[in-house]
Structure formats: C-alpha cells, structure tokens
Amino acid sequence: MNSTFLLGAAQQVAWGDFIFYLVLFVVLMALVGHFAWNPIQNMLQKRADKISNDLDSAEGARLKAEKLAKEREDALSNSHVEANQIVNRAKENAEQQRSTIMQKANDDAATLKNNAQQDISRQKQEVLAGVKNDVAKLSIEIAEKIISKELSADDQKVLIDKYIEGLGK
C-alpha cells in the first residue's frame, strides 16, 4: 500500500514547480559562481599556497636541523678523537720526562758513586802514605836504638820499603 501511495505521489509532480526550482537553482549557481566562487577559489588557493610554503619551510628547517645535528655529532666525535690524542701525547711526554729524569738520576748516582770511589781511593792513599811515614819514623827510631847508629836516607828508604812489603803480605 505504501508503494502505491508513493507511486501515486510521484505521478502528481507538477512540472511547473520543477522548472521553477530548476531555474532558481541555475540562477543561484550563477550568482554564487559570479560573486562568491572567485573569492572562495582565491582563498582556497592562498590557503593551499600557505600550506605548501609551510611544508617547504618545515622540510627546509628539518634538513637544516639534521645538518646541524650531523655537524655537532661530527664535532663531538672529532673532540673525542682530539681528547684521546691529547691524552696520548700527554702520556708520551710524561714517559719521555720520566725516562729523562730516570737517566739523569742514574747519571747523577753514577757520578756520585764515582766521586765517592775516587774520594775513598784518595783517602786510602793518604792514609797509606801517612801510615807509611809513621811506620818509617817508627822503624827508624827502632833501628837507631837497635843499631845505635844513624842510618843514611837511602838505607832508611830500603828498610822502609822492605817493612811495607812485609805489611802488604
């Protein structure tokens, strides 16, 4: 029944109203097209251009940020390398200084040891010479008392040398 009612309603359409609404729609579209379409179109184009520019700017900013990040990363990497080089150079310098100081200390110690040995040798010679003179004097005194005569200098020297040779053995 409903379908019969709709069919009956569709048959009662007035062609005059239809044509009026159609003409009204065309006139309305012409007015909108003439007065509103270009401003709307311009507004939409400006908006599209702005969005496109914003996207391009954002892409440029992103690329610039990536470039700066890469540069900073490279600089940081280079700074780590430079820091390692500085530390290595400092270690090498410290090792060289240590070697130099050790060599100088060894040289100084050797010089001191040499000087001490020379002093000891010189003092030993002085003591031996002093003992030799004391022994010679003592020997002369003993010999004078025993022989009861004074010996000549050459005789004294011979006696002293024999006595010293006897001490060395």
Is 1 in a helix, a strand, or coil?
Answer: coil
pLDDT band, very low/low/confident/very high, at 25 (cuts 50, 70, 90) = very high
**pTM tops 0.85, yes or no:** no
For 20-29, 74-83, 105-114, 124-133, which range has the lowest pLDDT when averaged over its residues? 124-133
Q: What DSSP string describes 104-166?
A: HHHHHHHHHHHHHHHHHHHHHHHHHHHHHHHHHHHHHHHHHHHH-SPPPHHHHHHHHHHHHHH
Predicted confidence (pLDDT) per residue in 160-169, tens digit: 788 777 776 6
